[in-house]
Chains A and B, each alone.
Chain A
């Protein structure tokens, strides 16, 4: 694989800007509780081990994520074997590594640290000496936390490449400021600043232990509630909610105006903040759940499309009922694809770049295109240089089109007879103006989705699947923030929610039609309410799953042998069916969860690459990767071997299989290719000249032993005109010739 800069005008980059690049800073308050060993592990070890695993997973799925790890309120032990660095101007604070894109250097640092701990070379829980806030003389300084957060803020400000920044803050100290009002005020101010910048702070309150007794102590949330709730941290959301109430004053129709306050678009949706009811403030996180809370961080969204879902039709209503929706990719197969060409002859590997020029095929003359211009695409420049898209008809007749003509042929427009309104009139209360602005629009241009109707979910057949489904939810911006849309429907969320709720209740799926992107070909889709198909225990988000339905052209046929053979492939045996039913019930599975099935091939590849980058000797490394499928197969085998009832079933069925094989070995359909060993020579070609072989092949009507080279030279020798280059073309032409001759 390589990077090729294609001039593919069909690629739509409109949504590229939405790709989320996260920078996550882990902040660990090293309290005495954090290093208490309980049931063989400590909170600190769990946190670091989980981050380590998270990084290994993110390197595969989202390699551009930034990670940094900071520890504070501690000092390093004197025999410091841990590679941590103090932070300038903040005493008692260290970083394992600063916020940077995932890389092998940092991964190794953390991994070595944990390895050394496991191998007994160091003890993580003793490497840091926590400042004990309960003993003032231990060096505990309540100013460290505000100082560190301010310092972190500076660092986050600097890393502009991350468009979503998070601080995950672990603490088990419920009195971090020792009641100092001055520090509390500065904390308020800092948290306010974080919220202003949309830096998300995710505090995780850990169980607090008595270090000597190992007993759990009560955790007092009040200081954190005070800090988070009495600042602007929540206000963004409150403001949004209030708009609706304010608007309803003069009996005029409520207009769904959360849009205007929702100025940060998608960030708001991602930026969760905290609320007074948050579970976070209700209980602490126990050690075992640390992993789950860290792994929730890898949740990401990938937007696929943004378009209008037109619900209504009819002479009068037209397409005026609808909602604007967004589609997100939820599953796509990760493969090893980040390869590109590199130049190996210098000190460092250098990436190879490509330059492409258009040339005339026959002469090799480069074509001169008009100079680059920011308003012109490559294709537009090509068209200006008289490069058209065409089709060669047999032979040497070319029909070609300009881009407008091609667009016409590829476009698909829906006639809707919609009434529309300009955003400008939103602020305009003059009714006359309003009416004037309203015009009847009769056509919707791609992208759009159009509702055809609803069907019962029992009528959904999932068999002809083509592509992964797309998760569809309401566009909270009503389409007004999209580059690809000319407009959108107001109150999309409400309409969408009502549609979802009632489809779920009635067990219906919606049949929709349309191109969801400007350049997409229109297709039929089944929109299934997510909880109608995902068991509720999977906790799948609410929305519709849009499944592409096939066109007749997409469906593939069976080989002719199967179509011809009538009922030969459909006779079952009642006794055997009974036996299989019994067997099936011994190997039942309750649910399939992708998260339980890591991809062994992918993980193995990354593991080997990691060892290679670290220049480790592979023969000495642990090369096992989790292979759940293999595990299941091994378990099944154990079950069969150890359970006599199952073994008897298998033996019984096996007898039938053997019997069957003996009874009808001759019924192999011709479409099944015989293996090399099975191909029997129908005639011998030993000691024959190529000419004789061809004559012989013709006589037996079996051309297996002829080669293309043989046929080619034969045709040339006898001046036979051949149409085409395939072996069959030669065989046909030669057959024709020989037929005439015999």
Chain B
């Protein structure tokens, strides 16, 4: 992952203090514009990278501090940051500086356009270093660009040369002089993006920043058809006239993104001073005391069984260990061997030679075994995270194989060994066209692992349709649930219910099962603003791909608290009895998933009636469990209580992050 260098040019002129058009009368132009900046910076606080650089160029500041200023020009342009990692204390300092300077502008002062030139100068100083360069300008539609044409041209050239991505975050003031056209022209001359801050803020709320994870190949080498399985398939020497070999790379296609993790701290209750704590582990073995024979007659009765039980090779902690007293003997760390528990009774120490001899030797590679119709691969058998299998270099032959499979509606079944002596994987290779642009695609495969015999954990389940069981027992045996199968009328009602909750509309049909495309697939760098791209609309609505609302809520809470912690005693803040409602709650409410968001999609009068009818016909009722003593509280009940209180604070109007409307557009 390459490093970021972001420079924010922030306009602090008096007009930034006006009321913003989309702020609902509560936010100033500057506050609206800075929302995205703070979101980005808060995110950087949570996922800190020491190699990233942040700098601010303040326009109409109270101070002049830049390399290019003279007595008569570029006054009141202040540069902050740039040379060190951006820390919390610097953030706190800059935060206090980002306020409107209500003094009138003076003649010698630098304009926004000139501040951009100063910012580009900062990038130029690091020209030779590898950075993703972002230049973000926060200004208002009231502001004038006010810069000479030669400087615009120079800026444009420098932006191209240094590969700077420029975003002008423009806030519409309530009563605007509206110089948007002027800014649009300027942005296009510089090859930048002019963004409406209100739109940007709403996008940020719905879809948090996406991060590109650098793709690292998990396998590079041949994919073969017709190889001799007794020979090392990675060795090109073993390619004979009977074998086809394609050079491929395997990259992860999907991995579960986890939430930022929290660590444990000891907090001094009085001072609020924190200190990191950790778990320290010590090791011991147990020496059990002699077992007492409690009941002689009983022991005698089952004497033969005792004889039958094989001797335990190792003292076990389970079953009888609860009752048996023991003393512990400490063991030094590392003074042990790996043991393998073969069965309850059988233990074996695994030495290195034993482990080596017990490894089933394999050679890395993908070997295609057979082809099967796509419909014969049950989706239920796809077990692990998917991979992309793509050619190492453009290859007509490889593309032709993929194309042939797509035309035949078939998929390949292959053996996959990522590294030498890894266990063999049974995989399926789906032929796909990976959409990399509006017109360009990469032909490849998506590989998913299938289960082996030992992996199947089947069970017996009652049939849902017939009066006898389906699996495990022979047909003809009674299904104990047969009495409760729905009748024709109930089935018909359910059918109407299903059809009226249909999410498929004409325009979100999957055009071709083999096309795969989304904005994340083609993401080149971590984005500053998650704006929809031109090709987004075409693909997203079909796949229901969107950002995780839980991840969004969690990070939004963390970000919010960082933003509110400046200049305050955190210990006092966090111990506020109303911390949650004061600081974690968004002013719009608590819930991420609400009846309103769902209703947006499929609420209508007839569906409501249909549901009511189904409830009646099927005799459905929500029955609340009552514990016997009425006092047993489940874990989490107190949280529920908190929530109920929260909701009382603000009913009805909820945060709509799960935006189905967006998805179905």
Contact = CB atoms under 8 A, between A and B. Distances in A.
A634 interface: yes
A37 interface: no
Contacts of B383: 331-333, 465, 467-469
B255 A100 contact: no
Contacts of B354: 608, 612
Nearest to B402: A572
Interface stretch (B17-25, B175-183, B190-198, B243-251): B243-251
Interface in B369-422: 369-372, 376-386, 388, 390-397, 399-405, 407-408, 410, 413, 415
Interface in A551-590: 551-560, 562-563, 565-573, 576-581, 584-585, 587-590
B75 interface: no
Interface string A380-422: 0010011111111111011111101111111111111111111
A348 B264 contact: no
B51 A584 contact: no
Contact of B51 (A158, A409, A641, A723): A723
A610 interface: yes
Contacts of A357: 279-280, 282
B242 A459 contact: no
Interface in A451-506: 451-456, 458-469, 471, 473-474, 476, 478-480, 483, 485-491, 493-503, 505-506
A367 to B, nearest CB: 6
Contacts of A592: 372, 376-377, 381, 413, 426, 428, 450
A638 to B, nearest CB: 10
Contacts of B644: 443
A346 B313 CA distance: 12
B553 interface: yes
A81 B265 CA distance: 68
A358 B264 contact: yes
A321 B503 contact: no
Contacts of B253: 463-464, 555-556
A90 B279 CA distance: 57
A629 B527 CA distance: 44
Contact of B625 (A240, A279, A480): A480
B602 interface: yes
A739 B45 contact: no
A551 B263 contact: no
B319 interface: yes
Interface residues of A, number: 305
B623 A488 contact: yes
Nearest to A633: B229
Contact of A563 (B220, B252, B381, B436): B436
Contact of A316 (B213, B484, B608): B608
Interface in A496-552: 496-503, 505-506, 508, 511, 513-515, 518, 521-524, 528, 530, 533-535, 538-543, 545, 547, 549-552
Nearest to A655: B397
A580 B259 contact: no
Given A244-B483, A566-B437, A299 B459 contact: yes
B62 interface: no
B358 interface: yes
Contacts of A488: 622-623, 625
Contact of B242 (A299, A358, A637, A656): A637
Nearest to B433: A570
B440 interface: yes
Contacts of B103: none
A409 B636 contact: no
A498 B46 contact: no
Nearest to B643: A413
A422 B623 contact: yes
B260 interface: yes
B277 interface: yes
B102 interface: no
A594 B450 contact: yes
Contact of A466 (B229, B249, B254, B497): B254
Q: Which of B316, B622, B636 has the most CB of A within 10 A?
A: B622
Contacts of A683: none
B96 to A, nearest CB: 15
Nearest to A86: B304
A571 B400 CA distance: 8
B360 A465 contact: no
Interface stretch (A122-130, A168-176, A213-221, A267-275): A267-275
Nearest to B403: A572
A406 B504 CA distance: 38
Contact of A302 (B372, B442, B457): B457
Given A540-B471, A587-B371, A279 B477 contact: yes
Interface residues of B, number: 276
A426 to B, nearest CB: 7
Contacts of A732: 3, 51, 129
Contacts of B284: 352-353, 355
A33 B643 CA distance: 70
B530 to A, nearest CB: 9
A326 B381 CA distance: 19
A717 interface: no
Contacts of A296: 472
Contacts of A629: 229, 367, 369, 415, 424, 426
Contacts of A311: 497, 611
Interface in A612-653: 612-613, 618, 625, 627, 629-630, 632-634, 636-637, 640-641, 647, 650-651, 653
Contacts of B32: none
Contacts of A335: 423
Given A241-B480, A343-B331, A541-B471, A338 B360 contact: no
Contact of B462 (A411, A455, A473): A473
B379 A460 contact: yes
B426 A557 contact: no
A104 B342 contact: yes
Interface stretch (A142-150, A667-675, A705-713): A667-675
Contact of A398 (B274, B543, B544): B274
Interface string B195-214: 00000000000010011110
Interface stretch (B8-16, B134-142, B555-563): B555-563
Interface string B299-319: 000101100111001111101
B649 interface: no
B348 interface: yes
Nearest to B264: A387
Given A359-B280, A660-B396, A422 B624 contact: yes
B522 A557 contact: yes
A571 B399 contact: yes
B615 interface: yes
B277 to A, nearest CB: 5
A44 B345 CA distance: 28
A237 B483 CA distance: 11
A133 interface: no
A27 to B, nearest CB: 16
Interface stretch (A72-80, A191-199, A223-231, A598-606): A598-606
B569 interface: no
B615 A101 contact: no
A654 B401 CA distance: 12
Interface stretch (A113-121, A179-187, A250-258, A687-695): A250-258
Contact of B378 (A88, A106, A534): A534
Nearest 6 Cβ contacts at the A-B interface: A301-B459, A342-B339, A580-B404, A105-B310, A601-B423, A576-B400
21 contacts: A241-B482, A340-B338, A340-B339, A353-B328, A355-B284, A399-B561, A423-B624, A454-B498, A464-B253, A468-B383, A473-B462, A491-B620, A528-B379, A542-B470, A552-B545, A552-B548, A567-B440, A599-B452, A629-B367, A634-B229, A701-B128
Given A463-B432, A641-B242, A729-B50, 16 more contacts: A240-B480, A349-B314, A351-B286, A352-B283, A354-B283, A394-B50, A421-B624, A422-B624, A478-B623, A501-B464, A545-B378, A563-B436, A573-B397, A584-B405, A592-B426, A633-B415
